[in-house]
Structure 1
Amino acid sequence: IDGRLLMRLVHPTAYVHPSARLAPGVRIGAGAYVGARVLLETGVVVGARVKIGERTSVGPNTTLLNCEVGKRCVLHAGVSVGADGFGFYVHEGRMHKKAQLLRVILGNCVEVGAGSCIDRGSWRDTRVGDSSKLDNMVQIGHNALVGHNCMLCAHAALAGSASLGDDCVMGGKSAVADHVSIVGGVRLAARCGVTTSITTPGDYGGMPAQPIGKWRRQVAIIRRLGSKNLDRKVGGDSSDDAQQSRVLRGVFCAFVLGVLSATAAVVRHT
């Protein structure tokens, strides 16, 4: 084993509290601050000027850059906090990168699941409020704001500059579009897609998102329509469909008889 992989590389200008525990392979950059009773597991990278509050636990191979982490937080394995946001623009037919110069601020008692990513801000800091919980593989875009006591389930995604109020829940694979605001007290069903701002607390589902009751009714109607089509293919016409078919046949027969009568009249006159 390469001995360099087992070394703890701490920059001389960084501060590490004597009670903090650093596993082998930890790297701490210039001007960083590691508080009391912090645990940094193997392979953690703490970038320059990053601040980690007391009693925070950081899992293996997590990277912390351009960020401030509050007290009593839990960051699981493979988390990325403070990497550049996804910001580009087209000029003269070429793609150019927008500057990503700000930070990520995590409040106290925040938990971030394995493999989740929280990007640094470009025009405002990206923030996650106190006691919010992120499941595995959650994406928080640059400049996004997450309120206090929020829960984001696996694969949820908050696009750049979106905001989520306090006490909100995002179901699995739900997503919020960029620059969209959601008031506090909103719960999004799994796979829900929010494309416009939500100003009324409550439960929402579907794509685009709508009040949960309306969405459920629409789903029920679609299922019934699908069931009717299936019955027609498998078992023949239902009673309603049979009646409709008889009416259409009657209209067609009347039309044909009318054409024949008109033709006969023309023949007689000639």
Structure 2
Amino acid sequence: MVGFVIGVFALAGMIKGAIGLGLPAVAMGLLTLFISPFQAATLLIVPSMVTNVWQLFAEGHVLRLVRRFWSLLIGIIVGSVWSVFPTLGHGEFQSEALLGGMLMLYGLYGLFAKNMPNLAPYEKYLSPVIGYLGGALTVATGVIVIPVVPFLQSLHLKRDDLVQSLGLAFTVSTLCLAVFLQQNRIEAMPFDYKMALIALFPALVGMWLGTKIRYRIPEQKFRKVFFCGLVIFGGYMVLHQFGVI
């Protein structure tokens, strides 16, 4: 089991290092093949938090982004407390099927969303709604991707601001997920802090390797393979849950 966890987080970290995202999605998707979504989410907390904080504070200007996106962040917190979806550890079928569906949407979005519409004029009204849905899906699947990532990209931010904004949203959602897992801990699924710390090292090494790969392989080609893989893998998870395969 230890070797599998190390391999999963090394791969997930490498993808995040290469294209700037994907660690929670890859890790959750692969881990849930062998353990429950609740257990997988507990292993994700430490590596995800460290890499997100790294991403958040890499360029500074954090307070400026907090002032701009405070309603998005409040929405994430509210969504994680009052989710409209079945949550991790309570209804395993729904969580795994929902995770698979979200991975498919994420992959399709990455493949076909070439030019995002400019939603900046509607940011004030959309931010709390998008944040709520992101927080609700975080405690349902362990991953915050849809709709937060497409929304932030649709605001046409500068590259550094976009990377930091994603890091900010990911950091807050990971904190919310950690609180949720602690408050809803299932006795049969205790936290494995040792394994979570073990997962951190390969994730960081993977990120370092990913940054090296970024300069050797065309990013667009790498992204295409990655998102195609998410569509296939997410589709497999959904079909498997419905007993088709």
* TM-score computed with the length of structure 2 as normaliser: 0.17
| Greater relative CO (CA pairs within 8 A, separation 6+) | 2
* TM-score computed with the length of structure 1 as normaliser: 0.16
Q: Which structure features the higher share of strand residues?
A: 1
CA radius of gyration, larger in: 1
